[in-house]
Chains A and B, each alone.
Chain A
Amino acid sequence: MDKVNISLNVNGEKVERDIEPRLLLTDFLREELFLTGTHVGCEHGVCGACTILLNGEAVRGCLMLAVQADGATIETVESLAGEDGQLNPLQQAFTDCHSLQCGFCTPGFLMTLTQFTKENPNPTEEEIREAISGNLCRCTGYANIVKAVKQVTHQTV
């Protein structure tokens, strides 16, 4: 299969690769760039585990081909912590509130909420629940994820 050249910015670094046009964006991130924090849960766009930020917007990595990301800026879960490894406030809220158990869905939730909390600094519980309704979690029952968002948006829990 003929390869296609793409160049994009991933977590602040410029990346250029020759890839097969059929390569999924999630596979590109995980297998070409070894950014395995982006998880693949359903491969049909329902579970949200593969959520990443594409030009600042939360999208499903499994529903995109890598070639579609040519020229784009991508942020994955690996971009969230500080350079010194310090958790960012959203990640810190997740550990404070026990918002993760197995942790497989967590990167997707974090990326969905990175965009959401930026755009909604003071959300209601209903708004938080709606924001994460496209991400499935089978362990936590969501309550502590809602709690973490309240913590990070400085609301009384």
Chain B
Amino acid sequence: MHKYIGKSMHRKEDYRLLTGTGMFVGDISLTNMAEAVFVRSPHAHAKIVDINIEAAKAIEGVYGIFTAKDIEDIKPLTQFESHCFLPPNLVEAISPTINFNYEDILAKKKVTYVGQSVAIVVAKNRYIAEDAADLVEVTYEPLQPLVDPYEARKKGAPLIQEHLENNIQSHFHVTTGNVEQAFAEADYIMNEKIRTPRLGSNPLETRGVVAKFDTRNQELRVWSSSQMPYEIRSTLAHCLSLPDLSIRVTAPDVGGGFGPKGGVHPEEIVIPYLAKKLQRPIKWVEDRMEHLTSARQSRDQIHDVKVSFKQDGTITAIKDFFVIDSGAVNFFALTCAYNSAYHLRGAYKIPNYDSECEVILTNKTPNVPFRGAGRPEVVFVMDRIIDIVARKLKVDPIEIMKKNMIQAEDMPYDQGILVKDGHQLIYDSGDYPDALRKAVDLVDYDAFRKEQEEKKKEGKLVGIGISSYVEGTGAGPYEGAHISIDPSGHVTAYLGCTPQGQGHETVFSQIAADGLGVNPQNITVRVGETTVLPMGQGTYASRSAVNAGSAIYEAALKMREKVLKIAAHLLKTDEDLVIDEGKIYAETSPEKFVTYQDVGRAALPAKLGNLPEGMEASLEVTHYFAPPTVTFAASIHMAQVEVDKETGFVDLQKYSVVHDCGTVINPMIVDGQVQGGIAQGIGSALYEEIVYDQTGQLLTGTYMDYLLPTSMEVPTVAKAHQEFKSTRNRLGIKGVGEGGAIAPPAAIANAIVDALHPLEIKTNDLPISPNKLRTWIKEAEASFQALQTN
């Protein structure tokens, strides 16, 4: 029985963040620090003919202006090998093509997207740097921009990456069962095109880098608003040809990330490089317009699916061909692409499945994973399919879900293909039909249906929509933890995964507290710094609780053993000992105890301590946890909307969720992750879209154009929980970070269809903005009228 795991404890992080005493990158100020501003491409695709920096250089307070020719010793940013590796059995199963592609730190001969870095101005402060940046004259010769991925994939299309044969950067094909046979035997076949647009993650803190070269240690110090400081370290080491451990990267307080702050950007390479070259600290903080143009983007998938089903609602096969528009570079190979393929069928048994994907390069900002990383796109596909099948057969979508769902007794369930890590895709635990029942109860589904009938008679178009997902969480390869106990008895835990608001300092001290038998107040958790542990990965892919949580628990258990041995030596007993709130004693005589302080002192070396014969001094333990494969979290989401037919405006009135993330460490934090994820999902369902025009110009470069949901659009979500423990780590943890963002698009899109029924519309294209919905309504009304008159 755990004492602190499972408890809604207040967060350790809060005090500094509530009093304005946190430390974000922008808050760092170093002696003699300069500031940098980037000159960025206004063209989507153009040759750089000339760069004239003379006028800019003349401004007082400018310390240097740098273009590609000044930094030729920096290697380009290439795809992240740590995330692109595929195990041999997966390679055999899906025959992937992954073409090498890269981005120069500053554009050399040509630019390939609006916002690409072309030059850097380093000056006394940002005001002067911006004055100078305005005077840098770049002469371009425009090239044909490629904006539509279907055009870009055509033979003979201009090349984005000129060393490639075409713009299809990656490709794979995965299949199980026999789709063609299923199609031949089906009662019904349907074809659908389903699209999720390009999105930005938009953390409230933009990106930012501060760097300094420490001449005493010959160490490159970097502070970055990053999810993956270790990836910055290894990428910097590669690009600048330096040893890894001569670079120290800190992610201080990070103001949100959601994925894109995990992809190393060119600024994270060139700012440290220039700090070393100019021998002075340099700071660069991205402004919001830069963020909207130049920070990595995400999603942008179009699926063409062919589906067969029977009269009784059984879905027998899905064949999917999808393209991902990755922008000018694909740094993460098949990360999102194969995530999409292996998650599409979710909670359903669909034995015949065939998925083929092309990742296409276009003249847009490069894409990287963003909360959900390929999952929201396919959950949208799958649950639109469920809804369309239900409407075709004139039954409630719930009946189609039930008909096709994996049952509790089927667990562990094998989906017949591989996970990206090469492990067979086998769900570890869960009861999806029970989750659906709970969701139906939570919203009182039958009552809603009755009420809906009445409201529709009054002209109020209300509807309900459902979505479900099964999410592989806690991806490896590993995460580590080091625990150190000092002679005062205080515990310090060091972890390699760095947070951006998830409350690592709180939850990992809860876990360590239970492992060690101390109060979480006696534990300090240190994260976000590459020197705390030699190796680490980062926070992304709903992985920190699973991997780092398991690492710290295993480390704590190892430490506990040593503590018990020392305590037994001090107490001169061979009885079994218990530890409670830092006191260690035999159960038979609790009045005779030693404390962690006693043990900490006893662990001092040589004669300073008092250790059992032969035991090594000090209390230091490191554990690296490597999961066998991912764990499977699951959820059912239900959205209730009212649609204004005249304006196409959607009012999201209620949102409910049933969720399983295995063992819950801190329920308050889990609920916060779910609510926050859903808010992002609501944004992508109804409001958010990065729009480029035909010339590749960005049309959504401010928050007046890229619409983020506010407090008026996000209801308080009703929640119910399941707790099916993972079988793949000792604590039974599954990941939760991304989940909330995965299902809202499908749930809301289906609710809109339901609200407008019997008018037949298909909400297959996100976001469902008022103008888009109004167009669909008009089209549906016209075809309805045409039917009437015929």
Chain A positions within 8 Å of B, measured between CB atoms, are 20, 22-23, 30-31, 34-44, 46-47, 49, 76-78, 80-81, 85, 87, 91, 94-96, 98, 100-107, 110, 128-130, 132-147
Q: In the bound complex, do residue B256 and residue A138 qualify as a contact, i.e. CB atoms below 8 Å apart?
A: yes
- Chain B residues whose C-beta falls within 8 Å of the C-beta of A47 in the assembled complex: 204, 288, 703
- Chain A residues whose C-beta falls within 8 Å of the C-beta of B258 in the assembled complex: 138
Flag the segment in B485-493, B500-508, B598-606, B612-620 that touches A.
Answer: B500-508
- Chain B residues whose C-beta falls within 8 Å of the C-beta of A46 in the assembled complex: 702-704
**A136 with B708: in contact, given A102-B205, A104-B204, A141-B676 (CB under 8 Å)?**
yes
Q: In the bound complex, do residue A87 and residue B15 qualify as a contact, i.e. CB atoms below 8 Å apart?
A: yes
Flag the segment in B378-386, B399-407, B712-720 that touches A.
Answer: B712-720
- Chain A residues whose C-beta falls within 8 Å of the C-beta of B29 in the assembled complex: 31, 34
Q: In the bound complex, do residue B501 and residue A102 qualify as a contact, i.e. CB atoms below 8 Å apart?
A: yes
- Give complex CA distance A23, B125 in Å: 11
The residue among A43, A98, A105 with the most chain B CB atoms within 10 A of its own CB is A98
- Chain B residues whose C-beta falls within 8 Å of the C-beta of A130 in the assembled complex: 711-712
- Chain A residues whose C-beta falls within 8 Å of the C-beta of B708 in the assembled complex: 136, 138
Name the one of A39, A80, A105, A143 contacting B675, with C-beta atoms under 8 angstroms. A143
B534 within 8 A of A: no
**Residue count of chain B within 8 Å CB distance of chain A:** 60
**A104 with B203: in contact, given A46-B703, A98-B669, A141-B678 (CB under 8 Å)?**
yes
**A39 with B703: in contact, given A22-B127, A103-B253, A145-B711 (CB under 8 Å)?**
no
Can you list, as one digit per residue, whether each of B708-746 has a CB less than 8 Å from chain A (1) or not (0)? 101110111100000000000000000000001000000
Name the one of A20, A101, A103, A141 contacting B22, with C-beta atoms under 8 angstroms. A103
B202 within 8 A of A: yes
B351 within 8 A of A: no
The residue among A30, A37, A101, A102 with the most chain B CB atoms within 10 A of its own CB is A102
- Chain B residues whose C-beta falls within 8 Å of the C-beta of A94 in the assembled complex: 14, 18
When C-beta atoms are compared, the residue in chain A nearest to B258 turns out to be: A138
- Chain A residues whose C-beta falls within 8 Å of the C-beta of B679 in the assembled complex: 138, 140-142
23 contacts between A and B (CB under 8 A): A23-B127, A37-B20, A41-B288, A43-B288, A44-B703, A47-B288, A78-B19, A78-B21, A95-B14, A98-B8, A98-B669, A98-B671, A102-B203, A104-B24, A132-B711, A136-B708, A137-B204, A138-B203, A138-B708, A139-B204, A142-B710, A143-B717, A147-B716
The residue among A36, A78, A106, A138 with the most chain B CB atoms within 10 A of its own CB is A138
Known: A36-B27, A138-B676, A142-B711. 7 other contacts (CB 8 A): A38-B20, A42-B288, A94-B14, A101-B672, A139-B676, A144-B675, A145-B711
- Give complex CA distance A100, B502 in Å: 10
- Chain B residues whose C-beta falls within 8 Å of the C-beta of A22 in the assembled complex: 127
- Chain B residues whose C-beta falls within 8 Å of the C-beta of A35 in the assembled complex: 20
- Chain B residues whose C-beta falls within 8 Å of the C-beta of A78 in the assembled complex: 19-21
- Give complex CA distance A49, B305 in Å: 43
**A20 with B127: in contact, given A87-B15, A95-B10, A133-B710 (CB under 8 Å)?**
yes
Q: In the bound complex, do residue B19 and residue A141 qualify as a contact, i.e. CB atoms below 8 Å apart?
A: no
**A133 with B711: in contact, given A35-B20, A95-B11, A104-B256 (CB under 8 Å)?**
yes
- Chain B residues whose C-beta falls within 8 Å of the C-beta of A128 in the assembled complex: 711
The residue among B13, B204, B676 with the most chain A CB atoms within 10 A of its own CB is B204
- Give complex CA distance A48, B714 in Å: 17
User: Chain B binding site: helix, strand, loop or mixed by DSSP?
Assistant: loop
- Give complex CA distance A90, B503 in Å: 20
Name the one of A38, A95, A105 contacting B204, with C-beta atoms under 8 angstroms. A105
- Give complex CA distance A100, B716 in Å: 15
When C-beta atoms are compared, the residue in chain B nearest to A107 turns out to be: B20
When C-beta atoms are compared, the residue in chain B nearest to A140 turns out to be: B676
- Chain B residues whose C-beta falls within 8 Å of the C-beta of A31 in the assembled complex: 29
Q: In the bound complex, do residue B204 and residue A138 qualify as a contact, i.e. CB atoms below 8 Å apart?
A: yes
B433 within 8 A of A: no
Tell me the residues in window 136-193 of chain B with beta carbons closer than 8 Å to chain A beta carbons. none
Q: How far is the CB of B256 from chain A (nearest CB, A)?
A: 4
- Give complex CA distance A44, B410 in Å: 54
Can you list, as one digit per residue, whether each of B230-261 has a CB less than 8 Å from chain A (1) or not (0)? 00000000000000000000000111101000
Q: In the bound complex, do residue B288 and residue A104 qualify as a contact, i.e. CB atoms below 8 Å apart?
A: no
Name the one of B18, B255, B671 contacting A104, with C-beta atoms under 8 angstroms. B255
The residue among A35, A47, A95, A104 with the most chain B CB atoms within 10 A of its own CB is A104
B17 within 8 A of A: yes
B395 within 8 A of A: no
- Give complex CA distance A105, B255 in Å: 8
- Chain B residues whose C-beta falls within 8 Å of the C-beta of A140 in the assembled complex: 672, 675-676, 679
- Give complex CA distance A28, B676 in Å: 32
- Chain A residues whose C-beta falls within 8 Å of the C-beta of B19 in the assembled complex: 37, 77-78, 80-81, 85, 87, 91
- Give complex CA distance A31, B671 in Å: 37
- Chain B residues whose C-beta falls within 8 Å of the C-beta of A80 in the assembled complex: 18-19
- Give complex CA distance A139, B26 in Å: 19
Q: How far is the CB of A86 from chain B (nearest CB, A)?
A: 10
B680 within 8 A of A: yes
Q: In the bound complex, do residue B501 and residue A139 qualify as a contact, i.e. CB atoms below 8 Å apart?
A: yes
The 8 A-B residue pairs with the shortest CB-CB distance in the complex, in nearest-first order: A37-B20, A104-B255, A103-B17, A102-B501, A141-B679, A101-B501, A46-B703, A77-B20
Q: In the bound complex, do residue B255 and residue A39 qualify as a contact, i.e. CB atoms below 8 Å apart?
A: yes
When C-beta atoms are compared, the residue in chain A nearest to B203 turns out to be: A138
When C-beta atoms are compared, the residue in chain A nearest to B715 turns out to be: A143
Q: In the bound complex, do residue A41 and residue B15 qualify as a contact, i.e. CB atoms below 8 Å apart?
A: no
- Give complex CA distance A69, B715 in Å: 37
- Chain B residues whose C-beta falls within 8 Å of the C-beta of A129 in the assembled complex: 711-712
B668 within 8 A of A: yes
B287 within 8 A of A: yes
- Chain A residues whose C-beta falls within 8 Å of the C-beta of B16 in the assembled complex: 103
- Give complex CA distance A30, B253 in Å: 16
- Give complex CA distance A135, B205 in Å: 13
When C-beta atoms are compared, the residue in chain A nearest to B205 turns out to be: A104
